[in-house]
Amino acid sequence: MSGRAGRPILRLHGPPNLGDATVTDTHPEITPGPAGGSVPGLPPLGAHVSVAGGLARAVERGIEIGATALQVFTGQPQRWAEPDLGEDDVRRYRDALAGSPIGIVASHDSYLINLATERAALLEKSRAAFEAELERCQRLGIDHLVTHPGNATGGDREAALRQNAAAIGAALLANPGPTTVLVETTAGSGTALGWRFEELATLIDAVPADVRGRVGVCMDTAHVFAAGYDLRTEYGEVMDAFDRTVGLERLHLFHVNDSRAGLGSRVDRHAHLGEGELGEAGFVGLMRDSRFVDVPRILETPKDDDGTAADRRNLDFLRRLARGA
Ligand SMILES: [Zn+2]
Ligand SMILES: [Zn+2]
């Protein structure tokens, strides 16, 4: 994700993180989205929102931006400490969601997790943290757990992909429930796995067969662009390549981000839609592709000073493209 260092640490418990520009302590007027959670012809649309103040507050933030899909952290993305998720938190979240137009929710796992590491201690910590992530998602009824393939710091990328797959498989076996694990396409900086579609295919194929059906892909537009796939001029070819390697049926979520970094730069920097290297041309193909009309799109774009306004503006951009305006 862009600006990992700058991304606020979100807390499920405790006082709101006042350093988090996305947090509003007042309760702005809530503008309800469309009833029923879907708009004919439009895919589910939303953003990653802060969980400061509790997961139920995240649902309110989603309603404020007119979202029909949402992404959250259920833990602290930059700390190993596991949150204490009480039954009350779960119930409040489920009640808030049931009364909202939001029809689909994803959670993004901690950035510290590296299921591909060759270091035994880090692997053990990562496995435990990933299982805890999945367990929280199952309790909350979250649809998708998005996870970045790890970093092959040991050098053997094939072995690292197989190890990553085995860890995902073990977590799924230990945690039955509705949540699907979505492996995210990466920009491929450093030793990051999963920037080539072939690597995602290798990883998924290595997941034990009995749980492989619970694994899919989240495609991040900024990441695939930075990895060298040109969504501006070769949208059809990029999707064909994905179909040949991974299979379009495995594509369950899009992260829709513009990129401050150039094509093939292998650098992960998100920008507001239409204001980065992808520009408007980078999103037209995706927003008008009827094959993905049911596949949700989540913004991970900058929040600036007013996250609600920024998210609304970026969602309007997507709706305008989808309508062909
Ligand atoms: Zn990113
Ligand atoms: Zn992403």
> Class of the 6-30+46-322 domain?
alpha beta
Exposure string over 281-303, b if 16+ CB within 10 A, otherwise e: ebbbbbbebeebeebbbbbbbbb
**Token couple for 325:** 């305006």
Dist. CA 47 → ligand 2 center (Å): 11
Dist. CA 292 → ligand 1 center (Å): 21
pLDDT of residue 38: 59
Residues whose Cβ atom is located within 5 A of ion ligand 2:
220, 255
pLDDT of residue 277: 98
Q: Under DSSP, is residue 145 helix (H, G, I), strand (E, B) or coil?
A: strand
For residue range 5-28, list pLDDT tens digits in order.
433 333 333 333 323 333 333 334
Dist. CA 141 → ligand 2 center (Å): 21
Dist. CA 133 → ligand 1 center (Å): 19
pLDDT of residue 7: 38
Pick the ligand that lies closest to the CA of residue 260.
1
Longest dimension (CA), the chain: 53
Dist. CA 101 → ligand 1 center (Å): 27
**Alpha-carbon gap, residue 56 to 118, rounded angstroms:** 38
Dist. CA 184 → ligand 1 center (Å): 10
Positions of the chain with pLDDT under 70: 1-40, 325
- The residues spanned by each domain of the chain are 6-30+46-322
Pick the ligand that lies closest to the CA of residue 187.
1
